[in-house]
Amino acid sequence: MNKKIEKLLNDQIEKESSSSQLYLTMASWSENQGYNGTASFLYAHSDEEREHMLKLVKFINERGGEAIIPALEKANVSFDSMEKIFESLLEHEMMVTESINNIVGACLEEKDYSTHNFIQWYVSEQLEEEALARTILDKLRLIGNDKGGLYLFDRDMENSSISADTVSNT
């Protein structure tokens, strides 16, 4: 495996692990605030990010590289509001998208078409992740601080099409 690409993929493993930890922290905060539907969504999202990490680990190892499993870092455990959670989630997903795009560029520079083909799944996934985060933020901004609206939003996060199950087919 190309060493430059291997390093970028290992860096991406760390980002996916960090994503999983961040969403787990968000889920725990949500649950402690009484937003069980949102917590359920975020717990599932955390699991999904771990699956993304595992997919990279297996790919690197199958290609003759060495996947590096990162240590867990403590994530922020407090958020000001539901809107702040999803603003953070969108910012984080945009950073992940930039990282994926850098891998795509490096694959083309290095003429590593196998990895380029593999990473296209992540490109599509990031489009979905960002779109979902924006949709959720739009809904939260419409609701504002209305407690009844937040109650319905939380219930919808668990029961509607805005669920982690519709985000990814991993």
Residue 91 marked in a binding site? no
Alpha helices, H only, 144-163: 147-159
The span from the CA of 99 to the CA of 9, in Å, is 10
Residue 126 marked in a binding site? yes
The DSSP code for 80 is S
Residue 92 marked in a binding site? no
Q: How far apart are the first and last CA of the chain?
A: 25
The encoded tokens of residue 136 equal 């959720």
Tell me the residue length of the chain: 170
Three-state DSSP string of 43-72: HHHHHHHHHHHHHHHHHHHHCCCCCCCCCC
Q: Smallest Cα–Cα separation from 48: which of 132, 152, 155? A: 132
CA quadruple 45, 48, 54, 58: dihedral positive or negative?
negative
Residue 52 marked in a binding site? yes
The DSSP code for 62 is H
List residues forming the annotated binding site. 16, 49, 52, 93, 126
List residues forming the annotated binding site for Fe cation. 16, 49, 52, 93, 126
